[in-house]
A = this chain, B = another copy of it.
Amino acid sequence: MKAEIIAVGTELLLGQVVNTNATFLSEELAALGIDVYYHSVVGDNPERLSELLVTADKRSELIVLCGGLGPTEDDLTKQVTAQHVGQELVRDPAGYAQLEAFFKTRKGIMTENNLRQTLVFKDGIPLPNNNGLAVGIFYQDETHTYLLLPGPPSELKTMVLEQVNPLLKRAFPQKEQLISRVLRYYGIGESALAAELADLINEQTNPTIAPYAKPNEVTLRLTVKTSDPKQGIKQLDQLESVIQNRVGRFFYGYGEQNALVNVVVDLLKQKGKTVTAAESLTAGLFQSTLGTVPGVSEVFPGGFVTYSAAMKSKLLDIDPVLLTQHGTVSRACAEAMAVQARRAAGTDYAVSFTGVAGPEPLEGQPKGTVWIALASESGVTSDVYTFSRDRAYIRHSAVMAGLDLIRKELLR
């Protein structure tokens, strides 16, 4: 099964947007055992897209197009592909109903061009869009399968996970299946992890080991190709146990979507504990990260953003003398913030963050210096960290370190 991915959009060719859709689709297709041999990007140009479809037909059986399903005149992926395969474009009733409902709640005027988004192939399968208005298309003729997907990544991802993957599984049942397991690590870099596992990575055939660096964490994807799922899972178990013997101390959880914050919130729920925070340089990013998890209210009532020194005193009742004596980027300040936040919020734990997000130094301390404290029933602990890179990365690094502190405390 040979596949290729065609992304349509002049903004990609101008370098305004990164083609993350191709990456995501490639991962998903690989998991289904479908081999992707080409990616292409072409602009919003009917002739060039049309030519590319002719080329793609010659070399691939599955052709996945993304982008160009929107309402504007330059969105023409459906029109060009319909002509290429000789299909008539018709209105999808469900998509049209969704469009009408959308404009009713928004009290906006539904302009004519919006109808383009509801067009589908007469003999294709319409793919409803749960995060947008452009309906996708799954179409097969005797020789080829075409998939037309929306360009915005949030729309495309949901459509692929919820609708496309089951359709592809049914259309192209593989005798051998791929079984993957994602291991997540915090506190070790990608190259250090790869060095620890160098022999395993070099010798890998089946299962395979793919390390991948994300901001402030690394995942390892173990994938086995097998016709016997039970046997495959046993192989993964064996490989994982060898790996965890070497780097298990940095392991925090399984799964592509299972971020550190999800693990922390689950643990808090399991143990029936609550947490608050007092944030200076992170300015709410830690609490906002907690807020990404549905149902977090059970373990997180709220907290404090104390950016200025005055607010540290005002909201947390910290003695201004302490702040002038030690500075706000100090162990004393971090510990006072955590202790006082815990008291004020009445939670089991409180984390505090104070430091230098940059780009400029603060109180004579260099960019990246961050104090993090954790207060609990049994007292308060704190440590200083030196994070690198830019403002956004430093703030994110601090949040991840704070989450890991709570996780370790809950596992003690």
A48 within 8 A of B: yes
Q: Is A227 in contact with chain B by the CB < 8 A criterion?
A: no
Chain B proximity of A371: nearest CB distance (Å): 17
How far in angstroms is the closest Cβ of chain B from A91? 16
* A308 CA / B143 CA spacing, docked (Å): 58
Of B102, B212, B303, the contact of A16 (CB 8 Å cutoff): B212
A29 to chain B, nearest CB (A): 8
Which residues on the B side are within 8 Å of A393 (C-beta)?
131, 154
- Residues of B close to A27: CB separation below 8 A: 14-16
- Other-chain contact of A305, B190, B305, B314 (Cβ < 8 Å): B305
Given A40-B39, A202-B73; A114-B191 close (CB under 8 Å): yes
Determine if B359 and A294 form an interchain contact, defined as CB atoms under 8 angstroms apart.
Answer: yes
A310 adjacent to chain B (CB < 8 Å): yes
Instruction: Choose among B41, B72, B221, B302 the residue that contacts A306 (Cβ–Cβ < 8 A).
Output: B302
- Checking B14, B25, B190, B303 against A71 with a beta-carbon cut-off of 8 angstroms, the contacting residue is B190
Known: A111-B192, A113-B198, A198-B73. A291 touches B284 (CB 8 A): yes
A88: Cβ under 8 A from any B Cβ: no
Which residues of the partner chain B approach A345 to less than 8 Å between Cβ atoms? Answer: 311, 314
Please indicate the chain B residues that have their CB under 8 angstroms from the CB of A272 in the complex. none
Known: A70-B191, A192-B108. A13 touches B26 (CB 8 A): yes
Q: Does A352 contact B (CB under 8 A)?
A: no
Are A191 and B72 also in contact (CB < 8 A) when A38-B41, A281-B291 are?
yes
Among candidates B11, B37, B154, B386, residue contacting A210 with C-beta atoms closer than 8 Å? B11
CA distance A165 to B2 in the complex (A): 37
